[in-house]
Structure 1
Amino acid sequence: MFCRLKSTPPSLFSSLNCSFNPATRSFSSTSAAMSAITKAFFEIQYAPVGSSAPKTGRINFNLYEGDVPKTARNFRELCTKPEGEGYKGSGFHRIIPQFMLQGGDFTRHNGTGGRSIYGEKFPDENFKHKHTRPGLLSMANAGPNTNGSQFFITTVVTSWLDGKHVVFGEVADEASMQVVKEIEALGSSSGAVRSSVKPTIVNCGEE
């Protein structure tokens, strides 16, 4: 079953209150106000727009383990598993500019697969955190209580996903967000990746 996120009509973006600089699309971390933050990272191989030469960029994450421990643990442990059993070797199969980057399907690599550390699926833990800014890490799903391993990283405010997808972390720093922006630019309105080098997680882990 596809893990699909419902995008919003372009006209809706103008009515959302973004908490980031529209010129730079930079953001401010809110992790200081939270307890029990754990950390994870991806090293991603991709070719930026205008280049056929692959490069490797790193995205650091803060995980809200104090607020959504089960969901954060699922992501963190999948970052530590070997290729074929977790995120290492998997790619971003769906990228929509001005929306999000979606990945985490390490079994079928097309949005129809993946599994959690608890079994194929696990329930929505809570909706304490909202999709209020770019750089948030949230669970992709195929409906209520169908969380597996697929996730997405927001690149804008996505308030219409509140109460439907569990936010469990954030991009940790501006250098990491720059990598997110470069990968976002490889996407399309359909979600298809416009690059001969599919953005792939070549290494990942916890810190």
Structure 2
Amino acid sequence: QELRGEVWAYASSVMCFVGGQLLGDEKELLKWSYHEWDYRDFKPDALYQAIAEDFYAKYLKNSQASSTHVFVYLEIAIEEQPVGRLLFELFSDACPRTCENFRALCAGGVTSPRDGRELTYKNSLFHRLVKNGWIQGGDIITGKGDGGESIYGPTFEDESFSVRHKGRGVLGMANKGRHSNGSQFYITLQPAPYLDKKYVAFGQLIEGTEVLQRLEAVPTYNERPTVDCKIINCGTFEP
């Protein structure tokens, strides 16, 4: 939170801090350690990669075990070309009904009581991109941005405004006014305090920053992406 936009402009996947200050990536850390302590490291990069992946998996497992938070993923394709995965942490303790709606739409297997169709984000589009604002998807009915349906019925109530839009990657429910949440959602591209207490935020992007950048860079016409940005797969993430 203290670094704010600096984090999202940071190119490397490794961040090293000394005395609470951002030093740089692992190469900068090795330069610093040599300069300060005459230390050289000869271990292979593959070893550190394995250690990092193991620690990350343990972190996710511990997070699930110590809280009610769940993790879900969206696999994205732009112009039919897979570009990677967005992984979200859902704040189920703050917004249990909202999180369960999103989780169920990611997992699939729920049918609409109105027409029996499966309710799922799979194969749905991101239909709106507001530059420096947010990217929006989840119209699982028409894909045009004028439809959607929740697992509870056409819409459900605003559950809580306790999660603030204080950074990039905040996940929230799009609506058409009070208590009109369906399946449409948005992901913020920067802090958006003007959305607080108007839209229910319930999750945070924790992996896939480069995928969000790819989506953000897509050309638009009247806030509509000019190429298809599709969720090609989705589900509950198990570390």
Structure 1 residue 177 corresponds to structure 2 residue 206: no
Deviation at 1:121, TM superposition (A): 0.4
1:99 alignment counterpart: 133
1:186 alignment counterpart: 218
For residues 18-38 of structure 1, give each alpha carbon's deviation from its aligned partner in whole angstroms, at most 9, with x where no partner exists.
823177078x9xx97x94210
- Asked if the contact 2:83/2:211 (under 8 Å) is kept, the reply is no
Q: Which letter does structure 1 place at the counterpart of 2:233?
A: N
Q: Aligned-residue CA RMSD in angstroms?
A: 2.5
Task: In structure 2, list runs of 5 or more residues that go unmatched.
Answer: 16-59, 110-116
2:166 alignment counterpart: 132
When residues 45 and 39 of structure 1 are mapped into structure 2, their CA distance, relative to the original with a 3 A threshold, is same
TM-score (norm 1): 0.79
Deviation at 1:194, TM superposition (A): 2.6
- Asked if the contact 1:97/1:189 (under 8 Å) is kept, the reply is no
Q: Distance in 2 between matches of 1:77 and 1:157?
A: 27
1:90 alignment counterpart: 124
Which structure has more relative contact order (CA 8 Å, sep 6+)? It is 1
Q: Distance in 2 between matches of 1:21 and 1:79?
A: 31
Secondary structure of the 1:179 match is helix
For residues 30-83 of structure 1, give each alpha carbon's deviation from its aligned partner in whole angstroms, at most 9, with x where no partner exists.
x97x94210000111114xxxxx7233111110001111000000000001158
Q: Which letter does structure 1 place at the counterpart of 2:107?
A: T
2:6 alignment counterpart: 21
* Aligned counterparts, 1:48-197, within 5 A: 54-81=81-108, 84-173=118-207, 176-188=208-220, 190-195=222-227
Greater C-alpha radius of gyration: 2
Q: Distance in 2 between matches of 1:44 and 1:144?
A: 30
Q: Which letter does structure 2 place at the counterpart of 1:206?
A: T
Structure 1 residue 203 corresponds to structure 2 residue 237: no
Deviation at 1:181, TM superposition (A): 1.0
1:44 alignment counterpart: 76
Deviation at 1:190, TM superposition (A): 2.6
More helix by share: 2
Q: Distance in 1 between matches of 2:214 and 2:229?
A: 10
Q: Distance in 1 between matches of 2:123 and 2:82?
A: 15
Deviation at 1:187, TM superposition (A): 4.3
Task: In structure 1, list runs of 5 or more residues that go unmatched.
Answer: 1-16, 48-52
Identity %: 35
- Asked if the contact 1:19/1:132 (under 8 Å) is kept, the reply is no
For residues 66-116 of structure 1, give each alpha carbon's deviation from its aligned partner in whole angstroms, at most 9, with x where no partner exists.
111000000000001158521001010001221111000010101111100
